[in-house]
Structure 1
Amino acid sequence: MSQQLAEVETLFLHEARSDYTVVANRDGNRVLRGRLELKETSAGPRPGKFRVIRDGEDQPRQPDEFVDLARAAGRIRISEQTAPENRTRLKEMLDGYQLEATAVRTCRRCASDGRYGPITSESAIEHNGELICRDCARRELERELSYKGEFTGAAEERLEELLYESGDLDRIVNLLQGGLDPDLTKYDEVSANVDDVSPVRTEDLDLHPDLSAHLQGRFEELLPVQSLSVRNGLLDGNDQLVVSATATGKTLVGELTGIDRALKGDGKLLFLVPLVALANQKHEDFEDRYGDLLNVSIRVGSSRVNDDGNRFDPNADVIVGTYEGIDHALRTGKDLGDIGTVVIDEVHTLKEGERGHRLDGLISRLKHYSENRMETHAGYDGTQFVYLSATVGNPEWLAEKLRATLIEYEERPVPIERHVTFADSREKADIADKLVKREFDTKSSKGYRGQTIIFTNSRRRCHEISRKLRYDSAPYHAGLDYKRRKTVERQFGNQDLSAVVTTAALAAGVDFPASQVIFDSLAMGIEWLSVQEFSQMLGRAGRPDYHDRGRVYLLVEPDGVYHNSMDRTEDEVAFTLLKGEMEDVATHYDETAAVEETLANVVVAGKKAKRLNDRMIGEVPTKHAIGKLLEWEFIDGFEPTPLGRGITRHFLAPDEAFFMLDAIRKGTDPYQIVADLELRDDEE
């Protein structure tokens, strides 16, 4: 007891039924807990019984020991939760020993548990109609979190931050139960940012008369990024890398020069996108916009199955295609005629696994095609390349590698609020329904209802969510036929739908003028979204001609994963994405990628294949790849073997080719081979 007396900094007294809790603290830690009963004497209230609690047992002590403890304390505090008459009794008792005490506001839960928990108006947390301290509130929050699943440190820190900012534990618990208090769900706001760029008037552009008239009929001035591009040589044929946020007008940059050159007889326009759905949409846009001036065709990857061309006319003035569709034409020796302009949309695809190296190879093969045609066709001046992206972390480096002028414009036309709320997979659709309804019931200052894009990770989930939304909505994914997708696009554009529910794979360029984006999932298939993909998708929220602001909601499942190969959980990924820096765009080559692209380059360019490899974005180990191609008999010298041509024509990786060859030699049914390949890919 003598050691404890020397260590007492604060002595705390709190009414507990028929007696008083006694707590002695030093440096914020409890050094003694006891119970005190008072007795009435002729001199007033005095200590009657004093017991120290050790290991859950009461140890009786002499009442004088309490007096010694009180005299040794640096200060004495009585909880305000102690009834006024009992506070008076305690003070009278202490007065008898010339000791003073102050009544303080404390946490009742702490006091009841034998702890000293002072609170102030700044530190108190409201819960169930009473004020508790931060420690008790945090412990209660941890209990609530344990019911919802395992939260990562980042998610817990965010919730604690919200708890202390709001001072209301009930609001945080409501948030965990799917509540949509915007003051709590709001993570941050990406401010609108409009750089001061002097606009170029459309009447001042040196364009073909037909295009000039068409353009002036649509608008009087170019948008900032378009004006920057024109001033930096777009219409002079300069290659450009244009990096600017979604909905800032990048697409027209490619159209301006491509349509102009096509109309002037300087070669056709190839407008290339990563996905069939995007190619279909862009093809229709070009048909509607320029079909009366030029012949527009489409070339997508599916045509390589039966090679019917899929409406493809290689002599068209404008060819909209997927990367794979045009690459297949090159790999199979199609004559594409004079190509005046190549627009590569979503060029940040270069950093993606399989699709990245194929785009890298395609760009090199298109440049070779242009150079080879300049050598053999008099009067052809070559191809202008325009690369478009909203999300590039290393634009200067990429522009240098592409030998293009960088046009970078960091405008955000409208502000975007970013919100985070927590829910398990069963609750997400109900929360999305509330958000969609709230948004659709609101009109912007420009008179447009709020509409929502919901991104999820599977086609099945698209239909599941759409069925649960009260207001009219529709699933939208690559599994729907072209007519159905166009119907959905038209209905959304007419504001007949409150929402579309789509897969993350279609985030790249589907033109839905939405005010709100909801992430039902932060995965694309069985892979977590990258910062680039996430930024691209959230950039769909808010259009300057329609909306005053955009809203983005992340519906995050604690401890949630979508495949057992995922090494992080959804709540962990959420805060990584929200805080993440844009990733660099680069293409990396393993042996498989190097062999596949080198073989394609040999098929297209023969002995010049090394030259094509050398100017690709990624570092291709050409010598090693050639050695493997010879070893596997995919090439003979610098000529592809029939096997090599077949592999290239069908975009097969070497291991896929060997798997199929082995199955064919065993007499396996072709349909079984396809099924086994699909199963093999799923397992991998």
Structure 2
Amino acid sequence: MSQQVAQVDTLFLHELGDRFQVVVTRDGERVFRGVLELKETNAGPRPGKFRKKDGSSEKPRSPDEFVELARSAERIRISDHTSKPGRAELQEMLDGYQLEALVVRTCRYCAGNGRYSPITEDTAIKADRDYICPDCATRELERELSFKGGLTGAAQDRLEDLLLDVQDLDRITNLLKGDLDPDLTKFDEIGATVDDVDPVRTADLDLHPKLQNQVEGRFETLLPVQSLSVRNGLFDGDDQLVVSATATGKTLVGELAGVDRALKGQGKLLFLVPLVALANQKHEDFKKRYSDLGLNVTIRVGASRINDDGNRFDPNADVIVGTYEGIDHALRTGKDLGDVGTVVIDEVHTLKEDERGHRLDGMISRLKYYCEERAKKRDGYDGAQYVYLSATVGNPEWLAKRLRATLIEFEERPVPIERHLTFVDGQEKSRIENRLVKREFDRKSSKDFRGQTIIFTNSRRRCHEISRKIEYSSAPYHAGLDYGRRKKVERMFGDQEIAAVVTTAALAAGVDFPASQVVFDSLAMGIEWLSVQEFSQMLGRAGRPDFHDRGIVYMLVEPDCRYHGSMDMTEDEVAIKLLKGEMEDVRTRYTESAAVEETLANITVAGKRAKRLNDRMLGDIDTQRSVGRLLEWQFIDGLKPTPLGRVVTRHFLSPKDAFRMLDGIRTGLDPYDIVAEMELAENES
């Protein structure tokens, strides 16, 4: 005992009923734990019984050993959780041995478990009516999280950081019960930034007189990204890659160039987008804006000649709004698109997507070939100008170089965006979404606009489910609705007649709803997690400079959630990755199947010159290998498509899908059964 006593740093005393816990520490480590009972003597309270705790048992020790421990300790501390009579009794006992002790603020949990853990104003964490140390608070939080479902390390670190920051365990655990304390849910704020760009006056533009009058009537000056584009060769016919955040006005860059050239007889405008919903909206916008200038506006989506609204595609129109696939189908089937003066490709970052990226890459190459061949045959036609638009690109310089385009990059964000993150049970999401929608719609901006919400989720069924549970007026919005219903929702949202739209993540780029708030009910698009690009694009929908003072984004994240067995991350892991992630590079990568599909399409369009089309695409294609596969599968004969090859490329079939259909036909399967088997195989893969 004497060797141990000589090295005592602290003797810690804490009341336990009618006894006192004794803890001895040396170099920060506990070396002794026991219990002390006091007895009354003529000289005052003195040590009566003293026991050393050994696990769950207690071994009697001499009361004199307690006195020896106390005299050898550098300091004696009494827990502030000890009652006032208990403190007085201890102080009187120690005074009898001429020993001094201080009452210190300690962690109740630690004291009760025989640990000496002093806390200060800076380290104390409120837990119900107690104050505890950070270690105990973290353990309590982990215990709470285990009831809610496991969080990944990154998400747990986020909550633990918040815990140490706000020093209130109840506020953190309330977050897991759906509390929307904005001081805690707020992850960060993306500030508004305005680059110093000298604006171009619209009166100084040299546009076709009809367009010039219209533009001057709408704007006195161009926005910064538009001014940069004009100063860097937009009206000189230069190809441009315009990278700028949502709502900064980049779409007008393509419109000005294309409409001006169309009015001057320098070829029609093709405005291409990835989704039918966006094509429909642009078609309506362009008809309203440019029909009065004498331009005929038409739409081309998919392979159909009749569109949702009954409008017949007119290949001779001055302005063609189309989906990538709609125009590519026209190219693959040899349609005459006339003289194309300007091609605007919106959402060009689609090039990086696994399924659609290679088709956009191929379509661009085929469209350039079409325009080049037409220019060789027609005097006075010099080919097309290409304007590529994107809000999100991780490697803009590389992409601009590969597209042979001038990079116009503008990083202005018109209004600040607050990004909020909270972890909730899946059953609680609808209730929280209802609260967020109501809270936002009850606010008005300084520009006198109500706050409106876009809720993104991952299925059409979920869109309807959420919308039904929102008390204020709302509407589901997805590609499964007919054209008239979608237009009605767009009008009602624009007129502030509804508080929210609930849409699928797949329509993130689809429609320009002027919302002040974006809520992520899910971080998945179908059965795939969102990419950083997609997430950035979607949150960029929050806040418009002409309507709102700021944008708000809420991510409602379900811990340990996966929406499909193929997902290798959980939703809380994805949330932290998206919030902290860097923008992915836009590159097109080819599997053998994709390479074969695009080579077949290029052979169908260009015959023997298909390799030239392959070579200028963004992704690398082994043309010789792809041609070998096409010959082996009898999709081509020489460098011409066979009837089978024409059907495959006309319907955008992958080789795998083509063979599944052929096998079904050869075995006499009903067409519906063929489709069912293909869907089953796709789900299993």
TM-score by length of 1: 0.98
Gaps in structure 2 of 5+ consecutive residues = none
Contact preservation (8 Å) 1:350, 1:356: yes
Change (3 A) 1:109 1:368: same
2:96 corresponds to which residue? 96
Contact preservation (8 Å) 1:419, 1:553: yes
1:397 corresponds to which residue? 398
Contact preservation (8 Å) 2:309, 2:484: no
Amino acid at match of 1:253: V
Contact preservation (8 Å) 2:270, 2:322: yes
> How far did 1:6 drift?
4.6
Amino acid at match of 1:462: C
Instruction: Give 1:244-323 correspondences, 5 Å limit.
Output: 244-293=244-293, 294-303=295-304, 311-323=312-324
Gaps in structure 1 of 5+ consecutive residues = none
Amino acid at match of 1:453: I
Change (3 A) 1:526 1:304: farther
Distance in 2 (alpha carbons) for counterparts of 1:495 and 1:230: 35
After TM superposition, the structure 1 stretch with the greater mean CA deviation from structure 2, 377-386 or 303-312, is: 303-312
2:76 corresponds to which residue? 76
Amino acid at match of 2:498: L
Distance in 1 (alpha carbons) for counterparts of 2:11 and 2:663: 83
1:320-372 Cα deviation digits (max 9, x unpaired): 00000000000000000000000000000000011000000000001101110
> How far did 1:55 drift?
1.4
After TM superposition, the structure 1 stretch with the greater mean CA deviation from structure 2, 38-47 or 216-225, is: 38-47
Moved over 3 A (4+): 1-4, 304-310
Contact preservation (8 Å) 2:603, 2:609: yes
Instruction: Give 1:132-531 correspondences, 5 Å limit.
Output: 132-293=132-293, 294-303=295-304, 311-531=312-532
> How far did 1:95 drift?
2.8
Amino acid at match of 2:300: R
1:38 corresponds to which residue? 38
> How far did 1:4 drift?
3.9
Distance in 1 (alpha carbons) for counterparts of 2:28 and 2:411: 50
Distance in 2 (alpha carbons) for counterparts of 1:37 and 1:591: 81
2:599 corresponds to which residue? 598
1:289-313 Cα deviation digits (max 9, x unpaired): 1112200000001417999996211
Distance in 2 (alpha carbons) for counterparts of 1:143 and 1:378: 77
> How far did 1:428 drift?
0.2
Distance in 2 (alpha carbons) for counterparts of 1:588 and 1:277: 27
Contact preservation (8 Å) 2:423, 2:558: yes
After TM superposition, the structure 1 stretch with the greater mean CA deviation from structure 2, 593-602 or 624-633, is: 624-633
> How far did 1:554 drift?
0.2
Distance in 2 (alpha carbons) for counterparts of 1:331 and 1:304: 15
Contact preservation (8 Å) 2:604, 2:640: yes
Change (3 A) 1:509 1:308: closer
**Secondary structure of 2:673's partner?**
helix
Change (3 A) 1:175 1:665: same
**Secondary structure of 1:562's partner?**
coil
Change (3 A) 1:306 1:463: closer
After TM superposition, the structure 1 stretch with the greater mean CA deviation from structure 2, 97-106 or 421-430, is: 97-106
Change (3 A) 1:271 1:649: same
Distance in 2 (alpha carbons) for counterparts of 1:471 and 1:261: 46
> How far did 1:216 drift?
1.2
Contact preservation (8 Å) 2:244, 2:250: yes
Distance in 2 (alpha carbons) for counterparts of 1:450 and 1:602: 52
**Secondary structure of 1:657's partner?**
helix
2:656 corresponds to which residue? 655
Change (3 A) 1:460 1:441: same
Amino acid at match of 1:647: V
Contact preservation (8 Å) 2:277, 2:510: no
Distance in 2 (alpha carbons) for counterparts of 1:56 and 1:657: 72
Contact preservation (8 Å) 1:299, 1:309: no
Change (3 A) 1:595 1:6: farther
2:584 corresponds to which residue? 583
1:612 corresponds to which residue? 613
Distance in 1 (alpha carbons) for counterparts of 2:539 and 2:8: 56
Amino acid at match of 2:626: A
Distance in 2 (alpha carbons) for counterparts of 1:415 and 1:191: 4
After TM superposition, the structure 1 stretch with the greater mean CA deviation from structure 2, 532-541 or 298-307, is: 298-307
Distance in 1 (alpha carbons) for counterparts of 2:345 and 2:548: 29
> How far did 1:237 drift?
0.4
Distance in 2 (alpha carbons) for counterparts of 1:134 and 1:302: 63
1:673 corresponds to which residue? 674
Distance in 2 (alpha carbons) for counterparts of 1:677 and 1:567: 24
Contact preservation (8 Å) 2:234, 2:240: yes
Distance in 2 (alpha carbons) for counterparts of 1:331 and 1:644: 11
Contact preservation (8 Å) 1:433, 1:470: yes
**Secondary structure of 1:592's partner?**
helix
Contact preservation (8 Å) 2:178, 2:432: yes
1:66 corresponds to which residue? 66
Contact preservation (8 Å) 1:303, 1:310: no
Contact preservation (8 Å) 1:299, 1:310: no
TM-score by length of 2: 0.98
Change (3 A) 1:53 1:158: same
Contact preservation (8 Å) 2:48, 2:63: yes
> How far did 1:244 drift?
0.2
Instruction: Give the CA RMSD over aligned residues.
Output: 1.5
**Secondary structure of 1:674's partner?**
helix
Contact preservation (8 Å) 1:4, 1:32: no
After TM superposition, the structure 1 stretch with the greater mean CA deviation from structure 2, 11-20 or 267-276, is: 11-20
1:412-443 Cα deviation digits (max 9, x unpaired): 10000000111121100100000000000000
Distance in 2 (alpha carbons) for counterparts of 1:307 and 1:670: 25
> How far did 1:3 drift?
5.3
1:637 corresponds to which residue? 638
Q: Count residues in correspondence.
A: 684
Distance in 2 (alpha carbons) for counterparts of 1:2 and 1:311: 101
Distance in 1 (alpha carbons) for counterparts of 2:635 and 2:307: 23
> How far did 1:63 drift?
0.6
After TM superposition, the structure 1 stretch with the greater mean CA deviation from structure 2, 271-280 or 133-142, is: 133-142
Contact preservation (8 Å) 1:304, 1:328: no
Amino acid at match of 2:361: D
1:647-673 Cα deviation digits (max 9, x unpaired): 110101111111111111112122221
Distance in 1 (alpha carbons) for counterparts of 2:505 and 2:4: 63
> How far did 1:150 drift?
0.7
**Secondary structure of 1:587's partner?**
coil
1:570 corresponds to which residue? 571
Distance in 1 (alpha carbons) for counterparts of 2:50 and 2:674: 85
> How far did 1:92 drift?
2.6
> How far did 1:16 drift?
1.4
After TM superposition, the structure 1 stretch with the greater mean CA deviation from structure 2, 167-176 or 241-250, is: 167-176
Change (3 A) 1:227 1:290: same
> How far did 1:124 drift?
1.0
1:601-627 Cα deviation digits (max 9, x unpaired): 000001110000000001111111111
**Secondary structure of 1:206's partner?**
coil
